[in-house]
Structure 1
Amino acid sequence: MFHSLRRALCAAAAALLLPLAGAHTAHAATTPAAAATPAAAPGAGYWHTSGRQILDAAGQPVRIAGVNWFGFETSNQVVHGLWSRDYRSMIDQMRSLGYNTIRLPYSDDILKPGAVPNSIDFSGGKNADLQGLTSLQVLDKIVAYAGQDGLKVILDRHRPDAGGQSALWYTSSVPESTWMTDLKALATRYLGQDTVIGIDLHNEPHDPACWGCGDTSVDWRLAAERAGNAVLSVNPNLLIFVEGVQSYNGVSGWWGGNLMGVAQYPVRLDVPGRLVYSAHDYATSVAQQSWFSDPSFPANMPGIWDTYWGYIFKQNIAPVWLGEFGTTLQPTVDQKWLSALVSYLRPTSTYGADSFQWTFWSWNPDSGDTGGILKDDWVTVDTVKDGYLTSIKAPLFPGSGSGGSGGGGGGGTAASCSASYAVSSDWGSGFNADVTVTNTGSTALTSWKVTWTWSGAQKVTNMWNASYTQSGATVTAVNAAQNGTVPAGSSVSFGFGGAPGGGGVPRVSCTAQ
């Protein structure tokens, strides 16, 4: 809700160009289990809706179960955390934890000519292919790699400019015409790239925004129709995500979380099967609400959610996507809230496609009033927070499983590979490193193994996108289920945390399986 608070830590963290270290990294996460992808995984092509379900191009039900990765909407004009890690390792880690969609907030500033990102670390080969790119070109890279990893992307017009959120979809400096032009520009930019499944038209409309009042200067429902139809006029394949408002008929709720007006005033789009309603819901770490102090809490919460947005799904009006929900999990009341919400979102069917959609706020740890899936070192997973979401995660979507173009040779005639090792950060008591595996042969790898031996007493503390064994100073890492297949000339990566620091870069070897 109060996103100004969420960004309180962003500028300072970005300026340091370093991850927070020390005590935070001492609590290493257990190695995340790779999520298995069904043989006939749904999700291919563009998506459309039917009743309360979202269907893929083949008509199979799909379910959004993802995370918000913010930063493009801030003065950094790029996703946060690239001052610490390579963007590909971040996306690989999302995939390894079982998240299948990324919501990417942005502001209209990134569409201005010459808009360039800042606070990206290029040392040690990190983010090397982003050097010299504009913010939009970096967005292209993130979209492309997410698609290769089997993730979908939802673009979220989060702010009119990097200065902050706005109650309405326009401001004195960013008129409605600019909003519409920029939405159409993004829809056109990703025309034919079905990794981008849709656009969230404007984040968290709130008072004085109304729903169904008929005043075109404040009626968000009418504005969403204008913008949604503008997007569909240039890219009719996209889903149009429409958030709620704050107040309807005197009943107030979270910013963007009140969809009570849909019952009487539904959004009307020119292209059928493209509308998804979106709500936001938070706990007391963001703000206090009356329902948290109800004597019946948390048993009262399903009725609250039904009233504000759940009825749309339950009455088969349209799909409902909980685009943001999050908490620090520090207060006991927040823990009860998240447990109740997960139960409310949990599918009842065996396959689970006929259910609510969701993206958790946030992947980033630098959200001041919620924290994130990652801890402050930008590597370690908050396994408690992630654990709450395990039962509502969904199948991954088809992707190449490749980490994109590699720098491998390609002159061989049999399966062969090489590996490169880069330390992404070292703070003395610990360090983070990334390893890139490149197929240097002419045939696809089906699995791989990487080995190295440290000269000191370093130990792996956690690893993602690979499993490992360590005997003395020698570490052997084997691919995870999702990144064993590597086409000729392509690369995949995995990363890990270790301790103590100061180990330097050992010689690594790669064996094709």
Structure 2
Amino acid sequence: MDAGTDAGTDAGTDGGTPGGAAGYLHTQGARIYASNGQEVRLTGVNWFGFEGPSRVPYGLHKRTLGSLLDQVKSLGYNMIRLPFSNDILRAGVYPNPLDISYTINPELNGLTSLEVMDRIIAAAKARGLRIVLDRHRPDSYSQSELWYRNSRATEEQAWIDDWKMLARRYKGDPTVVGVDLHNEPHGRATWGDGNLDTDWRLAAERAGNAILAENPNLLIIVEGIEIYQGNWYWWGGNLRGARDFPVRLNVAGRVVYSTHDYPESVYGQPWFQNKPSTGYPANLPGVWDATWGFLVKENRAPVFVGEFGTKLLIDSDRQWLQTLSSYLKGNGMSFSVWSLNPNSDDTGGVLQDDWTTVQQGKQTLIAPALAPLIP
């Protein structure tokens, strides 16, 4: 059976050599390394908008691209997770003009959404920031449980082909350091059961190996699912299956697992209940260890907490963020905060509604876990 032959660390199941081209990153055990051998962590923010009807990251109606990225860097972040939908990859797709000011950003005038992505990546490169591309949705309307919306037979290859195109487009530019294959598999998504229509682990292997055939230096970021063997967690967050069924790629040192984690104000998960008896928030590290942290603690593979955020409106949320920030730092994990944007209904942003003023209470709790720029 699969579990008997696959179990082990990423290094034990991948083929080839872990290293990569100059500027790119690779993994060994639970750590991420630069091409010079220095251990690094990705610690950044999500900047959303490409994935929805705006077809461009929000904020460019208020500020210049350069000033936004300068502020991201000045706050101590070293990367940006950039959600997108496959819609923006099509020819003739342009930003919604209501969500971008060409007076403020004249250099973006006339560019397609994909060409704006090019400019964001170039501007990030100029500042030493890294980019993780996140396939957030198959189209601009809503998320999907699986890596396809309706029919795997007709949609999976298009998903893979789009990833191959992006891998070719940015090949040789280590600013784009990783690819998050699909945001928040949930619902019908399974892990390790061999069902080609639902087994997210197998789909991630198919896509990951196709991407690495185009650019063998990229980190392949694989999120968890929602339900595994009766254990429920946040969408995209449950990595329990990766212990017995690790993702196997053709290039060593490329798998990074990803989880998402949110506070009580987003949804009242069981671990937020009965606080006096559970010792909240002291119970949280145990929840994280069991669901995704074990991958790092057992030196199996790195974990990238691709989304977490809160408006800090209740004490429980403040305790959650403080505990999570300490856990991430203490275990040497990578992460990206949801979000830079203030216009996230559930979490708010690192920036306030004017797109300039920092939510200092939030930033103060996150800052101790930040890592330096990546060489």
TM-score under structure 1 normalisation?
0.67
1:347, distance to aligned residue in structure 2 (A): 3.3
Q: Does 1:158 align with 2:136?
A: yes
Q: Which residue of 1 aligns with 2:297?
A: 314
1:401 maps to: none
Q: Partners of 1:208 and 1:159 in 2: how far apart?
A: 16
1:194 to 2:177 alignment: no
Query: Does 1:256 pair with 2:239?
Result: no
1:395 aligned onto 2:375: no
Match of 1:237 in 2: 217
Q: What amino acid does structure 1 have at the position aligned with 2:210?
A: A
Superposition pairs of residues 5-154 of structure 1, within 5 angstroms: 45-118=23-96, 119-123=99-103, 126-154=104-132
Q: Secondary structure at the match of 1:346?
A: helix
Question: Which residue in the other structure is 1:378 paired with?
Answer: 355
Q: Per-residue displacement from partner, 1:216-240 (whole Å, max 9, x unpaired)? A: 1000000000010010011111000
Q: Distance in 2 between matches of 1:386 and 1:110?
A: 31
Residue number among 238, 257, 277 corresponding to 2:257 in the alignment: 277
- In 2, the alpha carbon distance for the partners of 1:251 and 1:319 equals 22
Letter in 2 for 1:210: T
Counterpart check, 1:303 vs 2:281 = no
Counterpart selection for 1:289 from 257, 262, 269: 269
Question: In 1, are the aligned partners of 2:224 and 2:259 still within 8 Å (CA)?
Answer: yes
Kindly provide the CA deviation profile for residues 65-89 of structure 1, in whole angstroms up to 9, marking residues without a partner as x. 1000001001111111111111110
Q: What is the letter of the counterpart of residue 339 of structure 1?
A: Q
Aligned counterparts of 1:208 and 1:376: Cα–Cα separation in 2: 36
Query: Counterparts in 2 of 1:316-355, with a 5 A limit?
Result: 316-347=299-330, 355=332
Q: Count matched residues.
A: 348
Given that residues 276 and 321 in structure 1 are in contact (C-alpha distance below 8 angstroms), is that contact kept between their aligned partners in structure 2? Answer: yes
8 Å contact from structure 2 (residues 34, 374) kept in 1: no
| Distance in 1 between residues matched to 2:252 and 2:200, nearest whole Å | 20
What's the counterpart of residue 227 of structure 1? 207
Conserved 8 A contact 1:44-1:397: no
Give the 3-state SS of the residue equivalent to 1:265 in structure 2.
Answer: coil
Runs of 5+ in structure 1 lacking a partner? 1-42, 349-354, 399-513
Distance 2:325 2:168 in 1: 36
Q: Of the two structures, which has the highest relative contact order with CA contacts closer than 8 Å and spacing of 6 or more?
A: 2
Structure 1 residue 257: Cα displacement? 0.5
Unaligned stretches of 5+ in structure 2?
Answer: 1-20
Question: Which protein has the bigger helix share?
Answer: 2
- The CA RMSD over aligned residues, in Å, is 1.3
Q: Aligned with 2:82: secondary structure?
A: strand
SS in 1 for 2:317: helix
SS of the aligned residue for 1:155 comes to strand
- Aligned partners of 2:123, 2:89: CA distance in 1, in Å? 21
| Alignment equivalent of 2:227, drawn from 223, 236, 247 | 247
- CA distance in 2 between counterparts of 1:320 and 1:69 reads 20
Percent of aligned pairs sharing the same letter: 54
Alpha-carbon separation, structure 1, partners of 2:310 and 2:366: 13
Is the Cα–Cα contact under 8 Å of residues 228 and 240 in structure 1 kept in the other structure? yes
Displacement of 1:287:
1.1
Per the alignment, in what secondary structure is the counterpart of residue 224 of structure 1?
helix
User: 2:211 corresponds to which letter in structure 1?
Assistant: V
Deviation at 1:44, TM superposition (A): 6.3
Residue 132 of structure 1 aligns to a residue in which SS?
coil
1:206 is displaced (CA, Å) by 0.2
C-alpha distance in 2 between matches for 1:45 and 1:343: 28
Runs ≥4 residues deviating over 6 A: none
Q: Which residue matches 1:364?
A: 341
2 CA distance for matches of 1:311 and 1:181?
A: 33
Structure showing greater Rg: 1
Q: Which amino acid aligns with 2:290?
A: T
Q: Which amino acid aligns with 2:328?
A: L
Which protein has the bigger strand share?
1
Question: CA contact under 8 A between 1:44 and 1:57: conserved in structure 2?
Answer: yes
Distance 2:227 2:330 in 1: 29
Whichever residue aligns with residue 349 of structure 2, its letter is: G
Aligned match of 2:196 = 216
Which secondary structure state, in structure 2, belongs to the residue aligned with residue 297 of structure 1? coil
Q: Equivalent residue of 1:371, what SS? A: coil
Please tell me whether the aligned partners of residues 61 and 101 of structure 2 are also in contact (alpha carbons under 8 angstroms).
yes
